Amino acid sequence: MEKFAIIRPSNVYGPGDNFDPNNAMVVPSLMYRIYHKEDPLVVWGDGSAIRDIVYSRDVAAGVILALYHGTRGYYVNLGCGRGYSIKELVEALHSFIAFDYEFDVTKPTGFPKRVMDISLAREWLGYEPQISLVEGLKKTWEWYISHTDEYLKKQNYFRE
């Protein structure tokens, strides 16, 4: 039972992500809406919900480490190792993209906190995320503005 690896990634984002406005996750959804000039960008809730947001390259490195070392018949979480509030995420995007935004407190904020414990991945695999939130967001934004409709060419299992 120890000759395999089980990983659980958190909220992964990065180049090649699903930017379909109907079913994208938080980072590509915000980027899609910013690129398409939603003004102001309306973010549901008060921005206090905390999420573990991790860059795709860090997760890919963690998967390779898990395949090499195994996960001892257990699972390991692959995340960034800390939580970011939705407000911090929006402000990180705003630090290098010009857009107006507001939080709509009449809409649900979401579950208060979802952050993964990556201590087993660190201990067993030597996993250590390398890409900061702003750096990863910049790389993803740069990729997206050069590939804005690539999501239309991919199989999307969330579409009906």
- pLDDT tens digits, residue range 26-65? 999 999 999 999 999 999 999 999 999 999 999 999 999 9
Average pLDDT over residues 122-132: 97
Helices (H), the chain: 26-35, 56-69, 86-94, 119-120, 133-146
Phi, psi of 147 (to 5 degrees): -140, 45
Structure confidence at residue 160 (pLDDT): 65
Say which range, 1-5, 12-16, 145-149, has the weakest mean pLDDT.
Answer: 1-5
Go through the domains of the chain in sequence order and give each one's CATH number: 6-142 (3.40.50.720)
DSSP letters, 134-152, are HHHHHHHHHHHHHSTTGGG
